[in-house]
Amino acid sequence: MKDHLPYDDQLAKMLSRGLTSADRPGAIAALKRIGYYRLSAYTYPFREPPTEADVAAKRTRAENFRPGARLEDALHLYEFDRKLRAVLLQALQEIEVGFATKVGYTLGKRAGDGHLKIEHLDASACRLVNQDGLTEHEAWVQRYEKLRKDAKDEEYVKHHILHYGGEIPIWVATGFMDFGCLIRLYSLMDARDRKRIAYELGLKGNGSDTLYRWLRALNILRNHCAHSNRIWNRATVDVPPKFSTQVAPEQLHHLNELDNDQRQKIYLLIALTAHLERTVNPSSTWAWSALPTQAKKLGNVGGMTLENTMRFPEGWQNLALWKK
């Protein structure tokens, strides 16, 4: 295990590898506020390319920094990323609430306890057996019951326990479900209900599978934002596949033109967020104001831009998706 390093020694380690700083007190304060390893994610791109020894050791960068690398530039990236997460989380939370409302309303029309009885869901999807030997619905109910138990002190839950014998209708239960739980429930809903919700979120035809893949990826992004994980320059996991242009609106068609490298970066998910946020709240200014305003603040940091680190397409601000 590595030895514990005092803040002065942490800064000395960075400086000894070629990173420069014009503000030593500010650098120490940043280390105290952010932490060495969290900050290292933003200094890492300023390192030299790997040597043969680095490659042999399976390191993707050398330990030394390239000439002119400044701690202040890394701190600019950190602040940009921190504010970008806040802007993204604002939209993602609005999508989550809007999606929860649609699930509760649509399934509630079938039955208040439609989430608990497979006759109101897609029976074939519910009966699939997972690797733990549980059906998909049984596994979902386990998660649901845990969330319900965790919410037992919420006033609206106590109200239903006191007055309705603990029976909580779906339009109420969505209030304590997390985004992942909601998305899993959506995947188990009757195909007609899934299609109806997808249509309300701007997807035509059989768009429910496309919506499911989008939401799954956005849930991961939402969790990264909520837990203060780096978004800038992050590689996306569970990348949604290309969609049928008959399903998605024209303003998203440029996403199918992104190459494989571009699809691995965060622009794809930011664009999907912009579309869904607008369908949930048509009066929102997020896509044409909040997001572009923050995105432009990255500028050019040591040659790193929106286009080459987050794979925003050239001229992205001129696309219909980002227009008022």
**Other C-beta atoms within 10 Å of 300: how many?**
10
Q: Please answer whether residues 307 and 271 qualify as being in contact, where contact means their C-beta atoms are separated by less than 8 angstroms.
A: no
Q: Please answer whether residues 205 and 244 qualify as being in contact, where contact means their C-beta atoms are separated by less than 8 angstroms.
A: yes
Reading the block at residue 275, the tokens are: 């579309």
Reading the block at residue 257, the tokens are: 């033109």
10-residue averages of pLDDT along the chain (324 residues):
94 97 97 97 95 91 95 98 98 98 98 97 97 97 96 92 87 97 98 98 96 98 97 94 97 97 97 98 97 97 96 96 96
Among 299, 300, 322, 312, which residue's Cα sits nearest to residue 265?
312
| pLDDT for 229 | 97
Reading the block at residue 240, the tokens are: 């949604």
Q: Please answer whether residues 150 and 143 qualify as being in contact, where contact means their C-beta atoms are separated by less than 8 angstroms.
A: no
Among 26, 18, 113, 1, which residue's Cα sits nearest to residue 68?
18
DSSP state of 288: I
| DSSP codes, 86-109 | HHHHHHHHHHHHHHHHHHHHHHHT
| pLDDT for 306 | 96
- Summary count for the chain: helices (H), strands (E): 16, 0
Report the alpha-carbon distance of residue 226 to residue 9 in Å, rounded.
31
- In residues, how long is the chain? 324
Strand partners for 175: none
Strand partners for 135: 129
- CA dist 142 → 78, 80, 138, 139, 148 (Å): 38, 39, 6, 5, 10
| pLDDT for 275 | 98
The residues, any chain, with a CB within 8 Å of residue 41's CB and separated by 6 or more, are 230
* pTM strictly above 0.75: yes
Buried b (16+ CB within 10 A) or exposed e, 239-248: ebeebeeebb
**Other C-beta atoms within 10 Å of 151: how many?**
16
Task: Specify the DSSP element, H or E, that contains 155.
Answer: helix 155-164
271, amino acid identity = A
CA angle 222, 223, 226 (to 5 degrees): 85
